[in-house]
Amino acid sequence: MKTDKRNIRTLSKPEIAEYLEDLGEPKFRAAQVYEWLWQKHAFQFGDMSNLSKELRATLSADFSFPSLRIETTQQSSDGTIKNRFKTFDNHFVEGVLIPATERRTACVSSQIGCSLSCKFCATGYMERERNLEFDEIFDQAVLLNQQSQKIHEKKLSNIVFMGMGEPLLNYKNVLKAIERITSPEGLGMSPRRITVSTAGVSKMIRQLGDDKVKFKLALSLHAANDAKRHEIMPINDSNNIRSLIDALNYFYKQTGNEITFEYILLRDFNDSLKDADELVKVFRQVPADLVNIIEYNAIEHALFTKPDELTTALFMKHLEKNKVNARLRKSRGKDIDAACGQLANKVGESLSKN
């Protein structure tokens, strides 16, 4: 569905005020419209109930209001909820609500598909259709927040950009979405509760530092030497581990923000004590707070499997012995393909219309 109308959510508050002034509307009307767009979370002009029908019709005639819709939801036995969102132009993207005792975390996507082709990730086997716009990313957070309030009677506590796509290859939209998510005129969430995860784009990690962002950064490392990392993550060709270490140190020097490493254990590939030792060496070169060791989740296209419990325990023990702050992250939502690396717009049998 194409339209030549300007998306109303690309207008600033002064631009909305100028437009409404030209219509002869009172000055306070701009604040009302802006509030509906970002704080009251309208998804169409008809939702703006304190505006006259005439004004709503005029807005609808002059502007477009593309927004996400939840097409389907799927609930895991562990309480995790996967949502399939539909865009205004009939693409699909997924987001996940992950409840825990103290937290309710939204995992959001930044692109429709992905161009990086990581071998352990289902999204990596998809084509990248396009970047998500900043308001589409914002909508994911809003819809998952509403879902959390409805089901758990509590707002989101955290947001992680660990869904479909590479956030740093959609840099401007991701930063603008986070600006709206953290604004008191938006969701009002603290940036310290937001983590952006990257497969490793050194130049853009440095740009995050230059932009003095306030959110946390996670690097998907998954192998601690270049040969292995290249084998499973082709992006390592142009962003090798040395360049990433330098970029992360620059990011930390500029921001002081928390850095974590993500490391998926793959059986007989990166799970030996030698691999653990290489991870220790990388960890010691970066002011990282934590290494998240992640259980591998099987996907249709890849032949990887997860190591047995003993191998995992020995790997963790080696990190602990070398004073690496590491945590084994148990997968959530595996039974509905909602766990780490499984998002691929795959519709399961237990999906229900929303």
Per-position DSSP letters for 157-223, written without gaps between them: -EEEE-SSS-GGGGHHHHHHHHHHHHSTTTT---GGGEEEEES--HHHHHHHHHTT--SEEEEE---
CB atoms within 10 A of CB 217: 25
| Helix, strand, coil fractions of the chain, as percent rounded to 5 | 40, 20, 40
**Contact 160/195 with Cβ under 8 angstroms?**
yes
**CA distances, 70 to each of 106, 110, 147, 158, 309 (Å):** 14, 16, 10, 20, 38
Q: Is 229 exposed, middle or buried (0-12, 13-18, 19+ CB in 10 A)?
A: buried
Is 331 in contact with 294 (CB distance < 8 Å)? yes
Report strand pairing: 81-86 vs 69-75. antiparallel
* Helix (H), strand (E) at residue 316: helix 309-321
Question: Is 107 part of the annotated catalytic residue set?
Answer: no
Pairwise CA distance, residues 268 & 340, whole Å: 20
Q: Say how far apart CA 154 and CA 105 lie, in whole Å.
A: 11
Active site residue 278: no
The owner of tokens 């140190």 is 249
The one catalytic residue in 107, 114, 118, 340 is 340
- Out of 94, 136, 262, 295, the active site residue is 94
Q: ∠ at Cα 283 (278, 287), nearest 5°?
A: 165
Dist CA 210 CA 37 (whole Å): 30
List residues with catalytic annotation.
94, 340
